[in-house]
Amino acid sequence: MSQDVPEPLVAYDHTDLVNRPKRIWNWGNIPLPGLLLPALGAAFGFGLLWLVALFSLAAFLPFLGMSIWTSLLYFGPPIAVYFVWGRPLPSALTLSQQLVVWADWWWQPKRLQGLAADREPEELRWQVILWAPGSPRWQSRYDAARRTAAERGTAFSARS
């Protein structure tokens, strides 16, 4: 009988429910998919500031007055913010998550106080957790596995 080759372990994370983008609005009982709410909020906030700034400048610069051509200047950047804000970066984080990581990195209290030296540890210590089954159900399976390993002559049969 040939030895069984163990399958590689594969782990999937299906629990990212809190950080998953909310893309659904409900209007009564009718779901409206397709809107990324954090990006929509960021685009709305940026768009409001952008319009106030451009309308203020338009009072002094007449070529910034509202026309078909300047509407791209007025509405293009907020629309771009919507699409950039919700798209994952190469680090698999969205722009809002990356900004939180960046702010935490630069403004953490240890860094502000000068205590966060960026250096590698000089010594690495390994910690091993050994488990011995205590329940009779597991003990019988463990003993059966040891007997099978002893018959096959594998390293699992070494005495402990």
User: What are the tens digits of pLDDT across the range 92-119?
Assistant: 777 888 888 888 777 776 665 566 666 6
Angstrom distance (rounded) from CA 95 to CA 38: 10
pLDDT at res. 77: 93
Candidates 42, 37, 46, 99; CA nearest to 77 is 46
Diameter of the chain by CA atoms? Answer: 91
Q: Are 44 and 79 a contacting pair, CB within 8 Å?
A: no
* 3 state SS for the chain: CCCCCCCCCCCCCCCCCCCCCCCEEEECCEEEECCCHHHHHHHHHHHHHHHHHHHHHHCCCHHHCCCCCHHHHHHHHHHHHHHHHHCCCCCCCCHHHHHHHHHHHHHCHHHHCCCCCCCCCCCCCCCCCCCCCCCHHHHHHHHHHHHHHHHHCCHHHCCC
- pLDDT 10s per residue in the chain (160 long)? 556 777 776 666 565 655 566 556 666 766 666 677 788 889 999 999 999 998 888 888 888 777 788 888 888 999 999 888 877 788 777 788 888 888 877 777 666 556 666 666 677 788 777 776 677 888 888 888 888 888 887 665 545 4
pLDDT at res. 50: 92
Q: Is the pTM of this model over 0.95?
A: no
